[in-house]
Amino acid sequence: MISHSMLVRIKQSLSGAGRWGRLALLVLCVGGFFTAGDLFAQPVIKSVFPSAAPRGATISVEFRGTNLDGAYAVWADSPEVEGEVKPAGPIDEAAAQQSQPGDPDTQPTRPAEPVVVQLRVHAAARLGTHRIRLVSPSGLSNWLSFFVADQPVEVETGEAHHTPRAAQSALLPALINGRLDQSGQLDCYSLMASEGDELKFEVIQTQGLKPRLTLLGPASSWFDPERMERHLFLEERQSDLVPTEVRGTYRVQRAGRYIIQVSSLFGQASADASYLLAVSRGDKGPRRGSLPMQEWQERSFTREIGDRWLDSVQARSLKILELGPVSHVAEPTVATATPVGARPDTLLASRTAVATDVKFGEDQSEAAIALPAILEGSIDRPADIDRYSFTVKAGDEIAIEIETPLTQLPAFNPWVAILDSENHEVCSNLHRKVSLFNNNAERQIFFAGVMPKMVHRFEKPGEYTLQVQDVTTQYGAPTYHYRIFIRPQVPHVGEISLGGVDCLNLERGRAGRVTLTTSYEEGFPGNVSFAFSGLPAGVQAFPADTLIDRKAATEITDNAPTVIAPTSETTLVLEVSPDAPLTRLPQVVRVECRVLEQTKLGPALLVRELPVMIVPDREKKL
């Protein structure tokens, strides 16, 4: 993307240069594949502060970003959060330069544009994260997170609190919204704790930084009674894994004053860097509702697999299977005895769970468990392995879906494999890729990761074993919980992605486009058609081209039919007439798809709701 400063220089050069100079500059722009629409960026929000408020509160919020000139409205994902734009104060030039580090030739010269909003949170607002945007003459901005809490939110004071002695006091439970606007800055907060207290610290929301937490507490010293030393969180003492979430637990051994320090990775900071820190005793932290899902998610370790999951899958198919109720099978609880005289390094590996018999199929005894079934357990110690046995007939096609509700990647990497009667692996959820170029010019397979779903067709009848473990033998904990859904395959339309598009700012008199990537799950043999409903006046949608999924040479997968669904790409063109009326507020448009199998057309399925605006043609601004 060409920067604003470069655009200004190009326009000045075009006006001052001769004919050949102007031609050279234009060739330079065309050679970089820039279009007139690319020269002017969309409105972008970089930060919002404060970024949290309790229910029923009305607060003043500052939005910072670029191309927010003339912003006049707030657009949230819920009517329970609303705001009124107020006149902005003077721009802090120094803070603006800090928020936009880098080469001045590749960064906009305009400082960040603060937009002040009087934000109101209704008393019945949904707890947790909300999506919030700004509306400007340039269109609808990107969204940032705003947290609605069930407790007061404390905004850090303007006084320096960068050292333990100057730490800002906090009362438990605390929800603190702060900024790190100076390089290498430390924010310190002090709290009083009693012996036996279990303190929990968590950064639940960030903007523009990767935060770190450090806990300081009283130390035994005759020379300095106020000396403090670092205390490790429980998670730091129990595991050497790099944490994916900024959180920590500490059980107080000695009553007194404790300091929690907030910093950023490598000391990075800017005027747009902020955090929301929650400190609580026990489980009394802020309640959080889940962020509404924008798209159907099927291949994710965090989607909820339950009794109604199969109904949701069959709703995306024209083939409805008559299946009985979902059976539930608990993890086996009996473990094999440790061999006498075993070496210490073999103790964990020998603690393997006894297989639980799970009989699948129509011809089994009354005690058999038929498909579909949910297996539930945990890899509660290193090298723990859970095994479930089942029988199938030749030609049976099953789908295995995996959920990790408590601990996710990269900490817990569930390895699910199906073994035959001779203990040979038939298939697994390990994603394996092909190394095409190596020293010996041989075809080699390497491990790329674990996948949340796999499908398989059994060519031979008999008894098989489903084996669950972590991909390593070094990690395991009671929170390494899994839920595995085994069911017959249902050919259906899977995930449909819009490639990260979450709003559309369409220019009057020009055409825009949206590319949708569709997954064909479990041998889906049909086609999918797309349509827009609720488009603004003067906008028409036309299908463009469809691209069959192709992979680069470095993306060839060894076991693609098992762990990866084939995909296709469809492009829809949105044409805006030159006389289409401009929109002052976004209009919600529904993107829908319909499944077509031979001559049977399914009902409309919602893909995504998109806010759409019609804005002036940016090319005329040149």
pLDDT band at 429 (very low <50, low <70, confident <90, very high): very high
pLDDT band at 371 (very low <50, low <70, confident <90, very high): confident
In tens, the pLDDT along 494-514 reads: 999 998 888 999 999 999 889
**How far, rounded to the nearest angstrom, does the alpha carbon of residue 237 sit from its chain's CA centroid?**
28
Residues 320 and 450 both lie in one domain: yes
Q: Is residue 300 part of a domain?
A: no
Q: Is residue 296 part of a domain?
A: no
Q: Is residue 350 part of a domain?
A: yes
- For residue 607, give both structure tokens: 């893909």
Q: Is the pLDDT of residue 95 over 70?
A: no
List Cβ neighbours of 222 (8 Å cut-off, separation of 6 or more): none
CA dist., res. 218 & res. 214, Å (int): 14
Residue written as tokens 């050497």? 240
Q: Name the average pLDDT for the chain.
A: 81
pLDDT for 114 equals 87
pLDDT for 344 equals 32
Of the three residues 441, 457, 490, the one that is the final residue of a domain is: 490
pLDDT for 333 equals 54
Residues 486 and 498 both lie in one domain: no
* Greatest distance between any 2 Cα atoms in the chain: 92
Q: Is the pLDDT of residue 32 over 60?
A: no
* E strand spans, 77-197: 81-86, 115-121, 128-136, 139-140, 144-149, 154-155, 168-169, 174-179, 187-193
CA dist., res. 343 & res. 338, Å (int): 10
Residues 317 and 438 both lie in one domain: yes
pLDDT for 124 equals 92
In tens, the pLDDT along 252-271 reads: 988 989 999 999 998 889 99
Query: How does DSSP classify residue 557?
Result: B
CATH of the domain at 170: 2.60.120.380
In tens, the pLDDT along 217-228 reads: 987 666 666 678
User: Greater confidence, 360 or 445?
Assistant: 445
Residues 353 and 394 both lie in one domain: yes
Q: By the 8 A CB rule, do 205 and 49 touch?
A: no
Q: Is the pLDDT of residue 118 over 90?
A: yes
pLDDT for 96 equals 47
Q: Is the pLDDT of residue 106 over 50?
A: no
Residues 144 and 158 both lie in one domain: no
Which of 61-65, 91-95, 231-235 reaches the highest mean pLDDT? 61-65
Q: Is the pLDDT of residue 373 over 80?
A: yes
Q: By the 8 A CB rule, do 418 and 425 touch?
A: yes
- For residue 322, give both structure tokens: 């008559």
Residues 29 and 171 both lie in one domain: no
pLDDT for 348 equals 31
List Cβ neighbours of 270 (8 Å cut-off, separation of 6 or more): 98, 99, 101, 181, 208, 209
Total of domains in the chain: 5
Residues 143 and 245 both lie in one domain: no
Span 388-414, average pLDDT: 91
Q: Is the pLDDT of residue 197 over 50?
A: yes
Q: Is residue 121 part of a domain?
A: yes
Span 26-30, average pLDDT: 34
pLDDT for 356 equals 58
CA dist., res. 129 & res. 148, Å (int): 6
- For residue 323, give both structure tokens: 């299946």
To 10 degrees, what angle do helices 19-31 and 4-16 make? Answer: 150
Nearest to 52 by CA among 166, 157, 139, 132: 132
Rounded to a whole number of angstroms, the distance between the first and last alpha carbons of the chain is 16
User: Greater confidence, 91 or 404?
Assistant: 404
Of the three residues 122, 149, 176, the one that is the final residue of a domain is: 149
User: Greater confidence, 275 or 442?
Assistant: 275
pLDDT for 113 equals 67
Residues 211 and 329 both lie in one domain: no
Span 235-261, average pLDDT: 85
Span 449-453, average pLDDT: 95
CA dist., res. 97 & res. 104, Å (int): 10
Q: Is the pLDDT of residue 243 over 60?
A: yes
Residue 531 amino acid letter: A
CA dist., res. 513 & res. 476, Å (int): 47
Q: Is the pLDDT of residue 320 over 70?
A: yes
Q: Is residue 185 part of a domain?
A: yes
pTM, entire model = 0.79
Q: Is the pLDDT of residue 433 over 70?
A: yes
- 10 Å Cβ neighbour count for 284? 11
Helix H, strand E, coil C: the string for 209-258 is CCEEEEEEEECCCCCCCCCEEEECCHHHHHCCCCCCCCEEEEECCCCEEE
Q: Is residue 82 part of a domain?
A: yes
Residues 473 and 332 both lie in one domain: yes
Q: Is the pLDDT of residue 301 over 60?
A: yes
Span 442-468, average pLDDT: 90
User: Greater confidence, 244 or 540?
Assistant: 540
CA dist., res. 485 & res. 375, Å (int): 6
pLDDT for 112 equals 55
Residues 199 and 224 both lie in one domain: yes
pLDDT band at 483 (very low <50, low <70, confident <90, very high): very high
pLDDT for 385 equals 92
Nearest to 166 by CA among 175, 177, 156: 156
Q: Kindly report which listed range (130-139, 285-294, 417-426) carries the lowest average pLDDT score.
A: 285-294
In tens, the pLDDT along 457-481 reads: 999 998 899 999 999 888 898 889 9
Nearest to 586 by CA among 75, 65, 40: 75
Distances from the Cα of 376 to the Cα of 161, 389, 473, 486, 488, angstroms:
48, 14, 20, 11, 18
User: Greater confidence, 426 or 104?
Assistant: 426
**What is the residue range of 51's domain?**
44-149
Q: Kindly report which listed range (98-107, 245-254, 611-620) carries the lowest average pLDDT score.
A: 98-107
Q: By the 8 A CB rule, do 401 and 376 touch?
A: no
Q: Is residue 301 part of a domain?
A: no
pLDDT for 335 equals 42
Q: Is the pLDDT of residue 392 over 50?
A: yes
Residues 160 and 270 both lie in one domain: yes
| 593 sits in which H/E element | strand 587-597
CATH of the domain at 52: 2.60.40.10
Q: Is the pLDDT of residue 336 over 80?
A: no
CA dist., res. 498 & res. 514, Å (int): 7
Q: By the 8 A CB rule, do 569 and 581 touch?
A: no
Q: Is the pLDDT of residue 9 over 90?
A: no
pLDDT band at 441 (very low <50, low <70, confident <90, very high): low
CA dist., res. 588 & res. 586, Å (int): 6
Q: Is residue 288 part of a domain?
A: no
Q: Is the pLDDT of residue 107 over 60?
A: no
- For residue 474, give both structure tokens: 């070094």
Helix (H, G, I), strand (E, B) or coil at 551: coil
Q: Is the pLDDT of residue 136 over 50?
A: yes
Q: Is the pLDDT of residue 279 over 60?
A: yes
pLDDT band at 322 (very low <50, low <70, confident <90, very high): confident
Q: Is the pLDDT of residue 48 over 90?
A: yes
pLDDT for 321 equals 76
List Cβ neighbours of 423 (8 Å cut-off, separation of 6 or more): 465
pLDDT for 239 equals 74
pLDDT band at 238 (very low <50, low <70, confident <90, very high): confident
Residues 257 and 325 both lie in one domain: no
- For residue 244, give both structure tokens: 């994916």
